Structures are given as structure tokens and as C-alpha cells.
Amino acid sequence: MPPSQTLSDFLSQNLPSKTRTHLRTSVLPTLLNSITSVAQCLRDSQDIHTAGSQNTSGDAQLNVDLATNTIIHSAVRTCPSILSASSEEDEGENAVQHDPGVQAHGPDQEQYAVAFDPLDGSSIIPANWSVGTIIGIWDGSSALHQPARTKQVAAILGVLGPRTTAIVALRLPESEGSLCFEVGLSASSPDIFVIRESVSFAGMDSVKTRYFAPANLRAAAKEPRYKALIDHFISSEYTLRYSGGLVPDIYHSLIKRHGVYVSPVTPSSHAKLRLLYEVAPIALIVECAGGRAVDPATGEDILGKSVEDVDDRSGLVCGTGEEVGMCVGMLV
């Protein structure tokens, strides 16, 4: 039996603002349904192979990278309030060319920019592991040169695994507080159901198991501070939960209500995560869940930044506030 509350009912109760009608009724449902289509595309793609091209990060693109990128762009073109879109698989931020019959919103109406990584975790797809989709939604006609803390108003973290689910975060400048909740997605149902009305981290004294996810563990061989942090996790009997997929590893900590993810920046291992497509949306979700997300090179809050270029990169430490603070103290 599916949960009884639909996304439409949940948002009507918790996002009553009349100024965000299209965000509630068009943008969020359309983007979440596109993740359902991404999952279906991945399940139907028996032959995973390189496409002979590279994305702007210099990574070889798979056939499914290109296919899922097309799916989300196609969905975006149906939303009149989304004026610009950028993807990790494209070059730059571009104005949306809406479908015939879809009239783009003017300056006196809701306007949004979206930035997304359609298929995060391509390197572990051939092993048939869980991967994800990351989407950030920004106020206005562009996500660039904007303060992330106030202009990124929503984010979606979708997991493509045995089930297709997503965590959605909303923090609007005109509203007090924020929302962070989980939905279930299925191609067999026209409705999106809320399966967890509140996603939040718990305090240290209320969790039995402490989790850590250390990315780029090889960097510990040359960076004493990172090695000391790993040794601390081991000696303190943390439980390792690391798949090599950014989305499922962070999603795990959110569902378990505890955990810390570390993607370090060292002299020999530079920042590789894209701020616009990966780090900023994740940071919004983590903060809306009561956690922290910081740059391990400086200790600065991720959402204290603005994205000046689509290729801006950052390391990432995120999770429960106490753990993030400990990590920053050892790394910075």
C-alpha cells in the first residue's frame, strides 16, 4: 500500500505561499517525475558504454549520461517558470527553449534557474550499484553570480537503486524555517507520495552507530591531517559506509540521521566536485536537515559562496554539525 499523502497535498499544507504556485505545482513535480524517467532509462539500458565524448569536467561520457541529460532537459522545457538550465554534461548555462505552446514567464511572474547532474556516479554504473541525480533550483533567471544561501531555494537528491526515491529541501527567503522530506517515485503510479515528512539529523547522544564516508582515501597516504582523521574514525569505532557514489553515501547518512562525508582537498589532490551541480544542492539539503556543509580547504560554509562559473569546484565535508566541526578542526 502506498503512503496516503501525495506530494501535492503535502506541499499545499506546508508551502501555502501564493507567490510559489509554479514551484509547488509545476517545477518540483516535473523535476521529480524526470528522475523517475532517468531511473527507467537506466534500468532499460543493458549496454553501458562510452559515447566517445567528454563533459566539461573532462570525464568520458557514457551513453546513459547523454540519454538522462536529454530526459531532464526535455522536462525543463515544459515548465514556463524555468528560464535557464545548466547540466554537468553541457557547456555553460543556457536559456531554456520551451516546447511549442509553452510561454516563458515574464519578470513579474515566478522565474527559476535549474542546475543538475543527471547521473552522478557514472564510474560505478557498470557494477550496477546505486547512483543518483542532483538538482538545484535557484530564484531568478540565472544561478550564476548569486548568493547561494538566499538564491538557491530548493534542491533534490534522487537515488536510483532498488527503489527510486528522492529527498527534497525547500528554504524560501519569504518563509520562516525550511522543509526537508523524502518522496517515493514509481513509473507505475501517476502520483508522487511523501514517504517521510521530515528528514533530519539526530543529536550525537541519540544515535547508537556513528557513520563515516571517506572519499579519495588514497589522499591519506600523502596528507597527514587526512590520515589522522581516518585514524580517528577507526579508533573511535565508526562504521564505514562508502560506496564511491556521492548521492547514495550522503543519502544514507540522512536516512540514518547520522554520518559525515569527507571529500578532502590536499596539495596533491585538488577539489573536483562542481559547486553548482553537486556541492551547493547537497549543502542546502544537509542544512535543511539540521546539519552542516563546509569547504574542507577553508572551513567556510558552502552556502556562504556564490557560483561565479559553472566550473567552480570545491571539496566537501557534510553531515551532523558536531562531526563536521571535528573534521574541520583536524583538516583546516
Residues 6+ apart with CB under 8 A from 242: 212, 213, 214, 215, 249
The pLDDT mean for the chain works out to: 94
The per-residue pLDDT for range 168-186, each reduced to its tens digit, is: 999 999 888 899 999 999 9
Q: Nearest CA to 236 among 266, 211, 264, 200?
A: 211
| CATH domain 204-331 topology | D-Maltodextrin-Binding Protein; domain 2 (3.40.190)
The per-residue pLDDT for range 288-304, each reduced to its tens digit, is: 999 999 999 999 999 99
Predicted pLDDT at 101: 97
Look up the pTM and report it: 0.95
The per-residue pLDDT for range 219-243, each reduced to its tens digit, is: 999 999 999 999 999 999 999 999 9
Task: Please tell me the least confidently modeled range out of 15-24, 46-55, 120-129.
Answer: 46-55
Q: Tell whether the model's pLDDT for residue 4 goes beyond 80.
A: no
Domain spans, the chain: 7-196, 204-331
Report the C-alpha gap between 300 and 314 in whole angstroms.
Answer: 11
Q: What is the mean pLDDT of residues 117-137?
A: 94
Q: Which residues pair with 313 in a beta bridge?
A: 274
Q: Nearest CA to 154 among 3, 309, 282?
A: 282
Contact between residue 128 and residue 243 where contact means Cβ atoms under 8 Å apart: no
- Using pLDDT thresholds of 50, 70 and 90, give the confidence band for residue 18: confident
Report the C-alpha gap between 11 and 281 in whole angstroms.
Answer: 20
Q: Tell whether the model's pLDDT for residue 19 goes beyond 90.
A: no
Q: Tell whether the model's pLDDT for residue 47 goes beyond 70.
A: yes
Q: Nearest CA to 136 among 121, 120, 122?
A: 120
Share above pLDDT 90 across residues of the chain, in percent, rounded to a whole number = 83
In Å, what is the CA distance from 153 to each residue of 21, 215, 281?
14, 28, 9
Predicted pLDDT at 204: 75
Domain 7-196 has CATH 3.90.1150.10: no
